[in-house]
């Protein structure tokens, strides 16, 4: 799964939207009274380190098992260190890719979340580094 484009977060791009105080039920319906609580600033909610956060557009299907699909928008924080199991943006041989970061016994593995794509074991001599950690996925729903 490749990353198609990279965009920096800009402070002026802040948008505040109304937020309801009542949680939405994913089971049985709950009463839909007027529960407008306040406003939610999407940048404050999704971007914790603005100077180190970027938006990246996804292209490909290797991460569908964890809910990342082609066309999705990733929010990537470059200030975070990758931990085992994190979804990361890696640079491998000069190309961006999004994969699950696995570290075991001193070895790094980049795992897909789709069985059609084999894991990549990072070998000595490979041009590899973790560019950032994916913190959120923005996924549109078909209508």
3-state helix, strand, coil in the chain (%, to 5): 10, 45, 45
Both tokens assigned to 102: 């696995």
Quick one: CA torsion of 35, 38, 41, 42, rounded to 10 degrees?
-10
Q: Which one of 57, 62, 105, 124 is the catalytic residue? A: 62
Closest Cα to residue 136, out of 109, 95, 98? 98
The Cα 58–Cα 89 span in angstroms is 11
Show the CA angle centred on residue 3, arms to residues 54 and 56, nearest 5°.
Answer: 20
Q: Which one of 30, 57, 99, 105 is the catalytic residue? A: 99
Is 99 among the catalytic positions? Answer: yes
The Cα 60–Cα 132 span in angstroms is 19
Catalytic residue positions, numbered: 62, 99
């Amino acid at each position: 799964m490749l990353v198609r484009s990279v965009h920096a977060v800009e402070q002026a791009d802040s948008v505040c939207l109304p937020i309801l105080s009542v949680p939405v039920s994913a089971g049985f319906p709950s009463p839909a009274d007027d529960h407008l609580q306040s406003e939610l600033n999407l940048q404050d909610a999704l971007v914790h380190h603005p100077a180190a956060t970027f938006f990246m557009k996804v292209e490909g299907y290797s991460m569908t098992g964890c809910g990342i699909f082609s066309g999705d928008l990733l929010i990537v924080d470059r200030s975070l260190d990758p931990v085992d199991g994190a979804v990361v943006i890696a640079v491998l041989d000069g190309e961006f890719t999004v994969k699950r970061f696995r570290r075991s016994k001193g070895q790094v593995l980049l795992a897909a979340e789709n069985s059609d794509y084999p894991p990549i074991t990072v070998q000595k001599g490979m041009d590899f580094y973790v560019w950032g950690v994916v913190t959120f996925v923005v996924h549109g729903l078909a209508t």
